[in-house]
Structure 1
Amino acid sequence: MKNTNSNTKFILLHPYIQKQGSSNLLWLLAFISFFTLAFLATLIYTREQSTSSTITTTTFGFTTTTLPSTVINTLLYYASKSNDTYHMPYSDLKTISDVLRKCSSPCNFLIFGLTHETLLWKALNHNGRTIFIDENRYYAAYIEEKHPEIDVYDVQYTTKRSEMKELITSAKEQVKNECRPVQNLLFSECRLGLNDLPNHVYEVDWDVILVDGPRGDWPDAPGRMSAIFTAGVLARSKKGGNPKTHVFVHDFCGKVEKLCGNEFLCKGNLVEDTETLGHYVVEKMDEKSVHFCIDHSSGAAASS
């Protein structure tokens, strides 16, 4: 009876011990499997993010973060195929895009005018500072509400396209005073200078400036005289960063665009031009400078 009891106890306890050991082993295996899967998922996600979202390269001491070439080319292609009447041709988009890609990061990009390409410029200047200036306060508010990532400010132009020659003459007469090529326009009374932009716009060292506004389709339209003049002053008044600023003037076939471009951005700085786009490279100047162009005759020649 005693032996039977002891054998019975052995039979009853043995399965229990095995079950308890198996349970602990299963929990241990589950624990290890969970952390293994978590580690693999993190590793895969990190690799995908680093290869698909952005490409980081180091060039001449600058770390530049850009979109992959395939993404940029796709954006340019579809933007150029738009049904919008006023969209830029592919050649102009590509020229501006190429300059943005070579810009040190973060790139400072200032655009006069809200256009069909607004979202494109924001996307191409990935991780950079992109600011838009437009004369239509209602449209600016609409864009900002619809696309909160867009940084846009409205400005009141006091010029008329029909006054272009008078305004250029006035700027020349005041070139040593209010219309100096190097100054903080925030405190300027120059008729062509924009002095009511947000304070920080005057403090940024702009790498690329695009003049694609305001409107200039009729005599009383503001025209782009002030935008071009302001772009020239901002480029020459930089405090740091790259001493050169790429300034693009769209609709370069227009009289205002070409005349004011050569007058205030200087014909000698024109590195490339097509029927629709003028590309200037403007260097910063000494604060005592009183001439927009190193070759003083270049502007006059353009005016004649």
Structure 2
Amino acid sequence: MKNSNNNNGNGNTKLILLHPYIQKQAATSSSSSSNRLWLLAVLSFFTIAFLLTLIYTRDPATLRSSMRSSPDTEEATVLPVPPPLPTSVINTLVHYASRSNDTFHMSHAELKSVSDVLRKCSHPCNLLVFGLTHETLLWKSLNHRGRTVVVEENRYYAAYFEELHPDVDVFDVQYATRAAELDELLGSTKELVQQECRPVQNLLFSECRLGINDLPNHVYDVDWDVILVDGPRGEGPDAPGRMMSIFTAGVLARSRKGGGGKTHVFVHDYYRDVERVCGDEFLCRENLVEVTNGMLAHFVVDRMDKDSFHFCRERNGTATAAAKRSG
């Protein structure tokens, strides 16, 4: 670059040379700095977006299950157990729940039968309920110290209910049975009672037609203290019927992993054929404690040895005696 300048009449020529390398280096340095800033900005954006997506799209039920996957975890043992509800509060809840205008709600005597068992638990109860009903929130409240899981046949209603009440664990199950198939299903189950349909097993791996095997894994690892069968639908021959839920309740009760303890199993609508026949077959008359108002049957089922192949002791004794006579 050349610059001409006249000073005091004297013509002095000053020549200033700018090496192209200097300009190129400055431009390269500026471009490199700018690129690094853009790269940092892009990485920060995607990092924040990923974290927000992870937080807001994680399934709440999955989060709850991962936090409470097992009652034996260290976190579960250090959490403080809330005190039991006062008897006056329990009586009030049962009283108002029984006065609902819902046609299908339980009577005061039926509600009290279940609430009395929950209240007498010597430790926080594990309560498993088949069927989302008018009483679901009542069961959750009465068992506020323990674990309550609800199994529902209608996946849309289950999702809707859990959205309204995220503190309630609801899992949907598709029943592939019809009440009209009762005799056929009982026959096939008896034939496989020493194989897929045995009374002591982990149903997660079972292929018995009456066994529910698509619940979350941790459900099968829990020793359930109380099981209430009030679903699925059982009215009419085309309804799913409660064969699967009653059979599953019987297996879960007999397959407890704890050394002791019994499972209280309640079957609602016991006056109907499916509930009464399956109750007698898989929960057994010898375990029947009472039937409230002809509607709610209360069974107390003890755990069994893994080598047992008869649901009811009376039938086991009869079969053994017959085998000795034939021998």
Output the TM-score relative to the length of structure 1. Answer: 0.76
User: In the alignment, what sits opposite 2:203?
Assistant: 185
Q: Does 1:173 align with 2:165?
A: no
User: In the alignment, what sits opposite 1:210?
Assistant: 228
Matches within 5 A, 1:266-281: 266-274=284-292, 275-281=294-300
How far does residue 243 in structure 1 lie from its aligned partner after superposition? 2.3
Gaps of 5+ in 1: 1-62
Question: Which of 129, 134, 142 pairs up with 2:147?
Answer: 129
Question: Which of 78, 81, 98 pairs up with 1:80?
Answer: 98
- The answer as to whether partners of 2:82 and 2:145 remain within 8 angstroms in 1 is no
Q: Does 1:246 align with 2:246?
A: no
Question: Which of 94, 115, 119 pairs up with 1:97?
Answer: 115
SS of 2:313's equivalent in the other structure is coil
How far does residue 220 in structure 1 lie from its aligned partner after superposition? 1.5
- RMSD (Å) for aligned C-alpha atoms: 1.7
SS of 1:291's equivalent in the other structure is coil
Mapped partners of 2:211, 2:232: distance in 1: 14
Mapped partners of 1:241, 1:207: distance in 2: 13
2:114 maps to a residue whose letter is I
User: In the alignment, what sits opposite 1:282?
Assistant: 301
1:17-62 CA-partner distances (Å, limit 9, x unpaired):
xxxxxxxxxxxxxxxxxxxxxxxxxxxxxxxxxxxxxxxxxxxxxx
2:139 maps to a residue whose letter is W
1:279 maps to a residue whose letter is H
- The answer as to whether partners of 1:64 and 1:105 remain within 8 angstroms in 2 is no
Mapped partners of 1:252, 1:113: distance in 2: 15
SS of 1:66's equivalent in the other structure is coil
Mapped partners of 2:210, 2:318: distance in 1: 16
Question: Which of 81, 106, 111 pairs up with 2:124?
Answer: 106
- The answer as to whether partners of 1:244 and 1:283 remain within 8 angstroms in 2 is yes
User: In the alignment, what sits opposite 2:249?
Assistant: 231
How far does residue 297 in structure 1 lie from its aligned partner after superposition? 7.6
1:171 maps to a residue whose letter is T
Q: Which of the pair has more CA radius of gyration?
A: 2
1:295 maps to a residue whose letter is E
User: In the alignment, what sits opposite 1:294?
Assistant: 313
Mapped partners of 1:299, 1:239: distance in 2: 27
SS of 1:295's equivalent in the other structure is helix
Output the TM-score relative to the length of structure 2. Answer: 0.71
1:101-122 CA-partner distances (Å, limit 9, x unpaired):
0112221000000000000000
Mapped partners of 1:294, 1:221: distance in 2: 31
| More displaced 10-residue stretch of structure 1: 183-192 or 239-248 | 239-248
SS of 1:240's equivalent in the other structure is coil
1:237-289 CA-partner distances (Å, limit 9, x unpaired):
00016421000000111111011001000011001113110000000000000
Report the CA distance shift for 1:214/1:298 in structure 2 as closer, same or farther (over 3 A): farther
- Percent identity of the aligned residues? 68
1:192-224 CA-partner distances (Å, limit 9, x unpaired):
000111101100000000000000112121100
Give the aligned length. 238
How far does residue 145 in structure 1 lie from its aligned partner after superposition? 0.2
- The answer as to whether partners of 1:266 and 1:299 remain within 8 angstroms in 2 is no
- The answer as to whether partners of 2:201 and 2:306 remain within 8 angstroms in 1 is yes
- The answer as to whether partners of 2:262 and 2:300 remain within 8 angstroms in 1 is yes
Moved over 4 A (4+): 297-300
How far does residue 65 in structure 1 lie from its aligned partner after superposition? 3.4
2:245 maps to a residue whose letter is A
Q: Does 1:149 align with 2:167?
A: yes
